[in-house]
Amino acid sequence: MPMGSDPMERVVKLASESAIVIFSVSSCCMCHAVKRLFCGMGVNPTVYELDQDPRGKDMERALMRLLGNPQAVPVVFIGGKLIGSMDRVMASHINGTLVPLLKEAGALWL
Residue 17: name the closest of 81, 105, 84, 80 by CA: 80
Task: Report the C-alpha gap between 38 and 40 in whole angstroms.
Answer: 5
| 38-67 binders of another protein (CB under 8 A) | 40-41
Among 6, 9, 17, 87, binds another protein (CB under 8 A): 87
Between helices 7-16 and 56-67, what is the axis angle to 10°?
A: 80
Least separation in angstroms between CB 8 and another protein: 24
CB-based contacts of 65-68 (< 8 A; 24+ apart in sequence): 66/8, 66/11
Among 5, 33, 44, 104, binds another protein (CB under 8 A): 33
12-20, 22-30, 75-83, 100-108 -> range binding another protein (CB under 8 A): 22-30
Among 16, 44, 52, 71, binds another protein (CB under 8 A): 71
